Amino acid sequence: MQKKSIRDIEWAGKRALVRVDFNVPMEDGAVSNDRRIREAVPTIWHLCEGGASVVLMSHLGRPKGRDESLSLAPVAKRLSEILGKPVHFVRECIGEEAEQASSSLKAGEILLLENLRFHPEEEANDPGFAAALAKHGDRYVNDAFGTAHRAHASTEGVARLLPGVAGFLIEKELHYLGGALSQPERPFVALLGGAKVKDKIAVIENLLPKVDRLLIGGGMMFTFLKAKGYGIGRSLLDEERLDFARSLVDDPKILLPVDCVVASEISDEAAASVVLADAIPHDQIGLDIGPKSVEAFANEIKGAGTVVWNGPVGVFEKKPFQAGTLGVLQAMAECKGTTILGGGDTAAAAEQFEFEDQMSHISTGGGASLEFMEGRELPGIAALKDK
């Protein structure tokens, strides 16, 4: 990794201002999934054990101004339970009360600031707001990969004011995602799913020269099937991207589904059937890849040295359309190479079917991992100190 990390700094007597990604699901005022909190623990422990006092900051949800239902207080409670030590919490992220709380911390103590997005200045990357946040630390650590593609006050602004380094989570994300793009073990296979072609155009353009095989599933596959001249019934179609799909359908690296699961509606009770990809009935919607496609995809994945997967291959949230995503997860688990999942829905599928421990790496950032795979520079990482 070309960026400095927390390993490269002496922490004794320093205040570490750490951007974490604690944007976690909440239910009835409590954290319902703590994966993102747990991902930050190695960095927090390293700083504490190195003699730093640790000031954590994060956003939660999309509040419009102050919204008590999106307070980070329950997150502080859950983090304290995970660490087995107190986590102080202050109901503001800037100003006198917050500064008092951060400046009175002793070595090894932890403070979590209130939701950054209670202030619109956070997303606006307001210099004054970044300066107010910077008062909480001597050194800055970014460990929030999920927001690294956003130039916000807490991700990019603060890194201009304090010496900034990467935490262990960002280091891990760059190791796996960066390694896959620059020095993959071969064969290098990428699987792209999800709904829309337009969301994946830049990823396809960046990956196609690098991969040995590009598998296409999910809602976006129907635009490619249409580009081959097939009827796709009532399936999702990105009409504006048809020419783009036509320019790629005959590329020998690209593998499209040969069959798919169709139904007349998207529901748990839908009567689903398997049809060939070139024979989708006009009144049906394609909602998953079929068993022959699962087998073909699985063969490519199992033999791969590196696999990157972003976007489910079907509407896995509904029972009749789970088999494709489940089959791909099974193949990923059996692959002896490096298996990397993009965040978002792909990570959610791995969790739902309990495959998360069988992958080499699951990214904590859906949008960030997508932009990284597009070959774009992420502002929150670009702002950190080079080695």
Q: Which residue has the tokens 């995809």?
A: 297
Q: Which residue has the tokens 């944007």?
A: 23
Catalytic annotation present for 36: yes
Catalytic residue among 15, 19, 36, 200: 36
How many angstroms separate the Cα of 290 from the Cα of each of 226, 229, 263, 360? 17, 19, 12, 26
Catalytic residue among 196, 234, 253, 292: 196
Catalytic annotation present for 344: yes
Q: How many Å apart are CA 170 and CA 242, to the nearest integer?
A: 36
Please tell me the chain's helix, strand, coil percentages from 3-state DSSP, rounded to the nearest 5.
Answer: 40, 15, 45
Element (H, E) at 42: helix 35-49
SS3 state at 299: helix
Burial 105-128 (b: 16+ CB within 10 A, else e): bebebbbbbbbbbbbebbbebbee
Query: Are 313 and 324 spatial neighbours (Cβ–Cβ below 8 Å)?
Result: yes
Catalytic residue among 194, 344, 365, 380: 344
Q: 247 burial class (0-12, 13-18, 19+ CB within 10 angstroms)? A: exposed
Torsion angle in degrees (nearest 10) through CA of 65, 69, 70, 76: 130
Q: How far is CA 141 from the centre of its chain?
A: 19
SS3 state at 137: coil
Catalytic residue among 108, 303, 305, 367: 367
Catalytic annotation present for 314: no
Q: Supply 267's token pair.
A: 């529901």
Catalytic residue numbers, as ranges: 36, 196, 344, 367
